[in-house]
Amino acid sequence: MYNVVEIQKILPHRYPFLLVDRITDLQPGESIEGYKNVSISEPVFQGHFPDHPIYPGVMIIEGMAQAGGVLAFKSMDDNSQEAIQNKVVYFMSIDKAKFRAPVTPGDRLVYRLQVLKNKGPVWFLDGKAYVDEKLVAEAQLKAMIVDK
């Protein structure tokens, strides 16, 4: 649906902090699914941990939030390139975060987010992350779209 080049037209994030490789499903105002291919060549593995690489939980949550940002931007009434370029998504809260299993190099980390509530620029999202259909992390995210 959206490849990484198209995602970069929506999100301001860039390497090494763009954590969504592709969006595979998007239902504006409702849900999104996307993924990140976790590779050993990512800088985070130089220190987390050199002889036992584990993808950090905070990076999983950030990837979820970035997918949620795509959902929020593409759900705006005016989701033109010009409108999106003048906005940014800010995290307001992360609740009920749980990490169920480690994510390691070679995994495809699939993000699935559902809109719990949307009030104007504020979005409440239920996020889940999977590897091979196994739940590896979950959290409820609250974010707001603001002018840059």
Tell me the HSE value of 46 on the side-chain side, using a 13 A CA sphere: 5
Q: Which distant-in-sequence residues (6+ apart) come within 8 Å of 60 by Cβ?
A: 99, 103, 109, 129, 136, 137
Residue type, 139: A
Q: Which of 22, 48, 108, 142 is catalytic?
A: 48
Would residue 48 show up in a list of annotated catalytic residues for this protein? yes
DSSP 8-class letter at 40:
T
DSSP secondary structure string for all residues of 49-107: -TTS----HHHHHHHHHHHHHHHHHHHSS---HHHHHTEEEEEEEEEEEEE-S---TT-
Question: Which positions are catalytic?
Answer: 48
